[in-house]
Amino acid sequence: MPKTNKEQIIKLCNEINKKEGKGSIYTIGSDAANLKISRWKTGIEDLDSIIGGGMPEGRIIEIFGPESSGKTTLAYHLCGLHNLCLDIPIEGCVDCDTEFFNGMKWKKISEYKEGEKVLQYNPDGTAEMVLPEKFHKYEAKTLWQVYSRRMDMVISEYHNVVYYTTSKNPKLMIKPFHDIRIACENNKQGFCGNIPKTFYYNGNGIELSDDIIRLMVAVFADGSFRSNSKQCYMGLTKERKIKRISMLLNKCNIEYRVKNNFFIFDAPFNCKHYPSEWYNMNNHQLQIVLDEMKHWDGSQFNRGHLPSFTTINKEDADFIQFAYSATGNPAYIVTRDRIGETKIIKDHEITVDKLSYSVASGKKSKIASLKNAWIEPYKTKDGFMYCFTMPSSMWVMRRNDKIIVTGNTFDAERASIFGNKPKQMLVYRARYGEDAFNKTIKFSKAGIPLVIIDSVPSMIPKDDAEKVLKSAEKDSIEEQRIGGTARLMNKYLPTVEEIIEVTGTTVVFINQVRDKMNAMMFGEKTDTPGGHKLKHACSIRIQVARKSWIEIPNKDPRNSATNKKVGLIMKCKIVKSKVSNPMGECEIPLFFDRGFVSFDDVKPIRDELMEMERKRYDKRLKKNEEEFHPGLNLDDWED
């Protein structure tokens, strides 16, 4: 064995330190060996204790876990601790022909005006009119069209899709369309998810009795008026309709006369079509409309279907479709072009000169399956894409007269709960993975203290995305390259690590959990996207999960759920750490309306929310009583 030349080794070490800087090479026990890591507190004591006293500066952190486990919420909390931060969400939107409901009618999202309300979908299946937190409009040349027999949506690569799982106890989930598209390409059965098509809507109600509502449904179908008079004429020949109108008029105590098969009477008001104010009906009144409609403009299909509705007025078809959907029954509109055709009615030949619209509804299919959906590239008509940011992250959309529930884009309100403010939280909308990395490098060089990238699976390379679109446009079969995100990590992370070590920027990646393909029986069953490079580059990897919900009794009569979810208990586990002891665990309570708290505060806050819920219910009850019984003093009410 050759003799070790100690003097030459020491000389070599001195040369390295002189050339590359003191401490470039050192021995254990020297001053240079005492590595000092600057940290910043997270404000969550239990979390700080398991990561070594705080988040390290100039390092890469990964926060990963299943859906609805609080990953993004924790990221928002970390952003709120800094005077300046950069959030890079990979967002998504819809095309100009997608419609939203504004309380009075369906309207194209491209025609949205500030101040209009939007029909929001809630996790409990209810829907309500709320002001969106933000309206988005971005340039876009190509989107994706996802359609089936009863569903049609045009969305961007990273639009959030709302769906129910296909398990025995379905759960409401939200996933970027990119993940769904990849699953459809890799699985012959497509993606196992069902998009909701119905909701429970309960407006304030209109001040008409059930009998008057039924009578007006008959008037809308077969009545006519002269000028502005309330005098209504109904020419009826069918015996069942004659009996029906006689019964309704008698119930409403309205005098009438019959002349040559014409019923003549004074209607409650002059109107030939469903008024837009009727969209504000409560759920019971909507059901009254549907029940009466079948006697006039409706027809019964085979078993398993609800009565259909046919009209030449598109606004009437829109209202009946809304009434069906708002009462939990899926409905779609079929436009029939029979202009020029002739048909014989009571020995009279009539030539059709208008389009007709049929509203059909079924009892079974309240969801639209993604298993057999067609996915194709779609060139935008106006070169833009649009979206809303809603408090619940979900809203009800319609396209080509097909109603479904969809997701939204960046959640500004949730970010503001954790102390994020205008000009403090910078948000950059990245379309491709290269965009996210390039901006991370530029802002890190400028010395920004924190960068959040949400999320890793959405960081698809630009060339991969364009290749898929070109292949689809040419209708060619080309095998898609896999591992695009991992290639980006290998390309950019070494540069990012070098820069942030100097500037002190902390970069946090939000990641998801995927089922591991070909997993061994006794090995890990899950994995995270991004390849091995991201795992190796991370100084800390934090796995989060939802241990349990924090609930309070539900007081909302519009919601049949027993309890209302107001928060969750988040479980954090350090699965890797270069700057602290690994495998530390902690549990952190989180309330949706105020952020992370200690366990000592859970009971007082829960009691406070219960009292607020009770007062809100009492106030709503009193308001309803005053609307339907003006002048009634509830304090003087006796049982």
pLDDT digits (tens, 9 = 90+) for 267-321: 999 999 999 999 999 999 999 999 999 999 877 655 657 888 989 999 999 999 9
CA angle centred on 107, ends 104 and 113, rounded to 5°: 90
557: Cβ contacts below 8 Å, ≥ 6 apart: 617
Residues 564-581: tens digit of each pLDDT: 888 899 999 999 999 998
**Range with lowest mean pLDDT among 162-171, 225-234, 346-355, 483-492:** 346-355
SS3 assignment, position 209: coil
pLDDT class of 612 with cuts at 50, 70, 90: confident
SS3 assignment, position 156: coil
Average pLDDT of span 53-61: 95
The CA distances from residue 565 to 223, 552, 568, 606, 621, in Å, are: 49, 7, 8, 11, 22
Q: Please give the pLDDT value at position 472.
A: 60
SS3 assignment, position 231: strand
Residue range(s) in the chain whose domain bears CATH number 3.40.50.300: 35-91+411-516+525-616
pLDDT at 540 over 60: yes
Could you list the beta-strand ranges (E) of 278-370: 298-299, 305-311, 331-336, 342-345, 348-351, 356-362, 367-369
Q: Please give the pLDDT value at position 626.
A: 53
Written as one string, the DSSP assignment of 52-105 is TSSEETT-EEEEEESTTSSHHHHHHHHHTTSSSEEEEE----B-TT-EEE-SSS
pLDDT at 633 over 50: no
Q: How far apart are CA 445 and CA 281, in angstroms?
A: 57
Chain centroid, CA 587 distance in Å: 27
Average pLDDT of span 466-485: 68
> Is residue 455 reached through a cis peptide bond, with omega within 30 degrees of 0 on the bond before it?
yes
Q: Please give the pLDDT value at position 638.
A: 37
Q: Please give the pLDDT value at position 637.
A: 36
Of 606, 608, 590, give the one whose Cα is nearest residue 598: 590
For the chain, first and last CA: distance in Å? Answer: 104
Q: Please give the pLDDT value at position 636.
A: 42
Domain 99-197+366-407 belongs to what topology?
Endonuclease - Pi-scei; Chain A, domain 1 (2.170.16)
Please say whether the beta carbons of 78 and 56 come within 8 A: no
Q: Please give the pLDDT value at position 632.
A: 42
Please say whether the beta carbons of 241 and 296 come within 8 A: yes
Q: How many CB atoms lie within 10 A of CB 160?
A: 19
In terms of average pLDDT, the best of 237-241, 465-469, 532-536 is 532-536
Of 41 and 22, the one with more pLDDT: 41
Pair type for strands 298-299 and 118-121: unpaired
Residue range(s) in the chain whose domain bears CATH number 2.170.16.10: 99-197+366-407
H/E segment holding residue 242: helix 239-251
Could you tell me which CATH number the domain at 210-362 has?
3.10.28.10
Please say whether the beta carbons of 589 and 45 come within 8 A: no
> Counting every residue, how long is the chain?
639
**Range with lowest mean pLDDT among 194-208, 540-554, 555-569:** 555-569
* DSSP assigned state of 4: P
Q: Please give the pLDDT value at position 462.
A: 84
Q: Please give the pLDDT value at position 631.
A: 46
pLDDT at 126 over 80: yes
Average pLDDT of span 466-476: 68
Residues 65-85: tens digit of each pLDDT: 987 788 988 999 999 999 999
CATH architecture of 35-91+411-516+525-616: 3-Layer(aba) Sandwich (3.40)
Q: Which residues pair with 148 in a beta bridge?
A: 151
Q: Please give the pLDDT value at position 301.
A: 58
Does the pTM surpass 0.75? The reply is no
Q: Please give the pLDDT value at position 561.
A: 66
Residues 380-431: tens digit of each pLDDT: 999 888 998 888 889 999 999 999 999 977 666 667 778 888 889 998 877 7
111: Cβ contacts below 8 Å, ≥ 6 apart: none
Q: Please give the pLDDT value at position 336.
A: 85
pLDDT at 167 over 50: yes
Q: How far apart are CA 73 and CA 287, in angstroms?
A: 40
Q: How far apart are CA 368 and CA 163, in angstroms?
A: 9
* Cβ-count burial 189-200 (b if 16+ within 10 Å, e if not): ebbebbbbbbbb
Q: What is the mean pLDDT of the chain?
A: 86
Q: Please give the pLDDT value at position 634.
A: 38
Q: Which amino acid is at 476?
A: S
In terms of average pLDDT, the best of 18-32, 108-122, 226-240 is 108-122
Residues 417-460: tens digit of each pLDDT: 788 888 899 988 777 889 899 999 999 999 999 999 988 887 88
Q: Please give the pLDDT value at position 156.
A: 87
Q: Please give the pLDDT value at position 474.
A: 66
Q: How many CB atoms lie within 10 A of CB 138?
A: 16
Structure tokens at 478: 């080309």
Structure tokens at 617: 């219910």
Task: Look up tokens 């007709």; give the residue.
Answer: 356
Of 300 and 190, the one with more pLDDT: 190
Please say whether the beta carbons of 245 and 234 come within 8 A: yes
pLDDT at 171 over 90: no
Q: Which amino acid is at 356?
A: S
The percentage of residues in the chain with a pLDDT greater than 70, rounded to a whole number, is: 88
Of 586 and 391, the one with more pLDDT: 586
Q: How far apart are CA 359 and CA 381, in angstroms?
A: 28
SS3 assignment, position 602: helix
Residue range(s) in the chain whose domain bears CATH number 3.10.28.10: 210-362
**Range with lowest mean pLDDT among 124-128, 175-179, 333-337, 440-444:** 175-179
Of 523, 511, 410, give the one whose Cα is nearest residue 458: 511
Please say whether the beta carbons of 195 and 368 come within 8 A: yes
Of 388 and 345, the one with more pLDDT: 388
Structure tokens at 585: 């665990």
Q: Please give the pLDDT value at position 564.
A: 81
